[in-house]
Amino acid sequence: MAVAPAITVLFWLSTATLMIGLARRARLWRAGQRAPVEWAGLLAVPKRYFVDLHHVVAREPYIANTHVAVAGGAVAAILLVALNYGLAIYSPILDVAIVLAALVMVAGVFFVWQRRRHPPKRLSRGAWDRLPYTLALFAVGLLVVIATPAQYLSAAIASVALFFLLAGSAELVLGIGFGAPMKHAVAGLLHLAFHPRPERFSGVRSTALKPLELEKMELGVDAPADFRWNQLLSFDACVQCGKCEQSCPAFAAGQPLNPKKLIQDLVCGLSGTSDANYAGRPYPGIAIGAHSGALDNPIVPQLIEPATLWSCTTCRACVEECPMLIEHVDAIVGMRRSLNLTRGEIPGTAPEILANLRETDTQGGYPKPARYNWSIDLDVPQAVPGKPFDVLLYAGEGAFDMRYQRTLRALVRILKAAKVDFAVLGGEERDTGDTARRLGDEATFQRLAKENISTFATLKFSRIVTADPHVLHSLRNEYPALGGHYVVVHHTALIAELMEQGRLSTATLTNGKPLTYHDPCYLGRYNGEFEAPRAVLRKLGATLREMERSGPRARCCGGGGGAPLTDIAGIQRIPDMRMADVREAGAEIVAVACPQCTAMLEGVAGSHAEVLDIAELVASALEVPA
């Protein structure tokens, strides 16, 4: 029987090829910057794969089951081949197991083929379309070679089957070296091991950006080699499923951003190729084939147009959807930082806003004491050093907006009704620097953060409450890296708590209009707070009509990440799409919990659902004590 040794040779040849390919690819990843990684991550791969990654994949059961069959069958078959043929055991019992694994794989491949016949638009075509065939060659070749009894296996059949097996194996082992589709298997597993945010696997919503060491002239990502090496690795893990593209509000609005294409462009930059072979949907309005990159060449504009980076609202919908757990937003902000810090090239009104932040500590260029003008008749206590109080109310930039002042006034009424011991910073309050940070202006963010931290240090309070999820995110998640540790609660969480404790007596909402709730990205996806706002609304007796995209998958209002400032043109506006979602849910009131969402949704032209902050709804239902 001459087939068995042939499989042994083929196995070791394939293994060697895979290793050489991996070494070649690893050389590219190593061009990236140093990153703190734990080698123990390799041991955690099975758990991270079967629990964390599969949890995302399982949102679409069809492909999840298909992948389990194909990949499970393939991995089992390969491991068994390694045992039986790699070690030259040639046990017939193991052969049976191999045949079973190959059969499972064939069944899975059938469903891959089925889906590839009429694929959803978000899927990339090109090389990915040949996968059902090459994978079938592998499985069928293996089946024929191993399952056919020796007496029926003529030399002709054996060589054809071996050729099938060779072709199928080539797809599997050459992928990583040549950057073909099957590289996702190797790079994906390594990405799980060396993920840039390993805390994600312990159930933490890791969303804070990492601070730049400005004094070491760390100025963001100019060329692909400026990414950390495990970020480069993560780009290679992409399977081009287009889940990110489907969830991206900027893409849907026709702005020139497609997260999938962005990651693929970074792969081009990593491997020094052009984007001509990309076979998915392009950045809206930007043709494929005109851009290329190299490890040490600047990314913008040779590889990625600046408008692409400035379209992002940093809503993290793509990160939420990505089955390979790639961090798109980190990559985008990394590149924005370089554009901002080294070139100063930022579109729209953003340069003016950043200058205002440098010169007045407010985005609008207002005098700081004017921030609390709205509270002038409300007798709001001002925080003074040496006088401890319980809750620090931090208004944020929304305090200068006349629409949002209504929300803040409602919040103050609620705090007073519940007899909360609170105070405001008044003229001492600066911007948190959140907008500056999303726009890549790390220098301004760090200055503002440090100054705010030293202001907080003069005061004695137990926690900070804010109605602005962007303020919440930066104070709660991003200030700790700069030495500021605070308990920060969103006003909806505080109101829910006060209701729970019976400190707020509210009537039910009287008008009975159908109501929906729009999750702010920075409260929901960034901080995992989905329940408190809904609990408050339920307490008010409102029947929530959830929009199709709500909770962790909520659509952004378009107001995040400085996107309203850079204002990249598209075909439609993101808030218009969100208002259409509201209409579709049949709601006449959309409850919001963020000044950006308020402004964006209020700005929708034409008649639309009434936009009311949860604080306003609660304040309107407050029962005045007799």
Q: What is the nearest approach in angstroms of other proteins to the Cβ of residue 396? A: 19
Site for other proteins in 436-455 (CB under 8 A): 441-443
Q: Quote the CA–CA distance of 239 and 323 in Å, as a whole number.
A: 9
* Residue 378 binding other proteins, by CB under 8 A: no
564-to-348, 395, 439, 524, 559 alpha-carbon distances in Å:
9, 20, 11, 20, 6
SS3 assignment, position 605: coil
Q: What is the nearest approach in angstroms of other proteins to the Cβ of residue 547? A: 36
Among 344, 388, 483, 528, which residue sits at the site for other proteins (rule: CB under 8 A)? 344
Q: Which helix (H) or strand (E) holds 115?
A: helix 92-117
* Residue 301 binding other proteins, by CB under 8 A: no
Q: What is the nearest approach in angstroms of other proteins to the Cβ of residue 465? A: 27
Distance of CA 447 to the CA centre of its chain: 27
For 446-598, strand residue ranges (E) read: 463-466, 488-490, 515-517, 589-592
Count of CB atoms within 10 A of residue 606's CB?
Answer: 6
Q: Quote the CA–CA distance of 139 and 161 in Å, as a whole number.
A: 10
Judged by CB, which is closer to other proteins: 366, or 486?
366
Among 368, 413, 460, 545, which residue sits at the site for other proteins (rule: CB under 8 A)? 368
Q: Quote the CA–CA distance of 609 and 620 in Å, as a whole number.
A: 18
Site of tokens 């208004």: 395
Q: Which structure tokens are listed for 581? A: 């979602």
From 336-344, 451-459, 566-574, 578-586, span contacting other proteins (CB under 8 A): 336-344
* Residue 345 binding other proteins, by CB under 8 A: yes
From 63-71, 344-352, 405-413, 604-612, span contacting other proteins (CB under 8 A): 344-352
Among 355, 384, 507, 569, which residue sits at the site for other proteins (rule: CB under 8 A)? 355
Judged by CB, which is closer to other proteins: 264, or 566?
566
Q: Quote the CA–CA distance of 199 and 190 in Å, as a whole number.
A: 16
Count of CB atoms within 10 A of residue 215's CB?
Answer: 6
Among 234, 340, 363, 550, which residue sits at the site for other proteins (rule: CB under 8 A)? 340
* Residue 365 binding other proteins, by CB under 8 A: yes
Site for other proteins in 184-223 (CB under 8 A): 214, 217, 219
Q: Quote the CA–CA distance of 119 and 209 in Å, as a whole number.
A: 35
From 103-111, 131-139, 350-358, 399-407, span contacting other proteins (CB under 8 A): 350-358
Among 17, 148, 206, 342, which residue sits at the site for other proteins (rule: CB under 8 A)? 342
Among 358, 413, 553, 583, which residue sits at the site for other proteins (rule: CB under 8 A)? 358
Q: Which structure tokens are listed for 620? A: 């309107």
Q: Are 310 and 281 contacting, i.e. CB atoms less than 8 angstroms apart?
A: no
Q: Does residue 301 have a cis peptide bond before it, meaning omega lies within 30 degrees of 0?
A: yes
Instruction: Tell how strand 589-592 and strand 463-466 pair up.
Output: unpaired
Q: Quote the CA–CA distance of 235 and 268 in Å, as a whole number.
A: 10
Q: Quote the CA–CA distance of 52 and 62 in Å, as a whole number.
A: 18
Nearest to 332 by CA among 349, 361, 354, 307: 307
Backbone angles phi, psi at 295, to 5 degrees: -50, -40
Nearest to 66 by CA among 25, 36, 106: 106
* Residue 363 binding other proteins, by CB under 8 A: no
Q: What is the nearest approach in angstroms of other proteins to the Cβ of residue 435? A: 15
Q: What is the nearest approach in angstroms of other proteins to the Cβ of residue 219? A: 5
Q: What is the nearest approach in angstroms of other proteins to the Cβ of residue 221? A: 13
* Residue 379 binding other proteins, by CB under 8 A: no
From 132-140, 162-170, 189-197, 343-351, span contacting other proteins (CB under 8 A): 343-351
Q: Quote the CA–CA distance of 71 and 87 in Å, as a whole number.
A: 23
Judged by CB, which is closer to other proteins: 46, or 369?
369
From 183-191, 358-366, 419-427, 576-584, span contacting other proteins (CB under 8 A): 358-366
Nearest to 251 by CA among 223, 284, 227: 284
* Residue 351 binding other proteins, by CB under 8 A: yes
Cα-only R_g, the chain? 28
Among 182, 307, 341, 532, which residue sits at the site for other proteins (rule: CB under 8 A)? 341
Q: What is the nearest approach in angstroms of other proteins to the Cβ of residue 355? A: 7
Q: What is the nearest approach in angstroms of other proteins to the Cβ of residue 227? A: 18
Judged by CB, which is closer to other proteins: 199, or 345?
345
Nearest to 271 by CA among 28, 69, 570: 28
Taking residues 514 to 553 in sequence order and writing x for each that binds other proteins by CB under 8 A, - otherwise, the string is: ----------------------------------------
Instruction: Tell how strand 391-394 and strand 463-466 pair up.
Output: parallel
Among 366, 389, 486, 530, which residue sits at the site for other proteins (rule: CB under 8 A)? 366
Backbone angles phi, psi at 544, to 5 degrees: -80, 130
Q: What is the nearest approach in angstroms of other proteins to the Cβ of residue 258? A: 27
Among 354, 415, 424, 594, which residue sits at the site for other proteins (rule: CB under 8 A)? 354
Q: What is the nearest approach in angstroms of other proteins to the Cβ of residue 425? A: 16
Taking residues 157 to 186 in sequence order and writing x for each that binds other proteins by CB under 8 A, - otherwise, the string is: ------------------------------
For 399-478, strand residue ranges (E) read: 422-424, 463-466
* Residue 569 binding other proteins, by CB under 8 A: no
Q: Quote the CA–CA distance of 408 and 105 in Å, as a whole number.
A: 59
Among 15, 148, 360, 455, which residue sits at the site for other proteins (rule: CB under 8 A)? 360
Which residues would be at the binding site for other proteins (CB under 8 A)?
A: 214, 217, 219, 340-345, 351, 354-355, 358-361, 365-368, 441-443
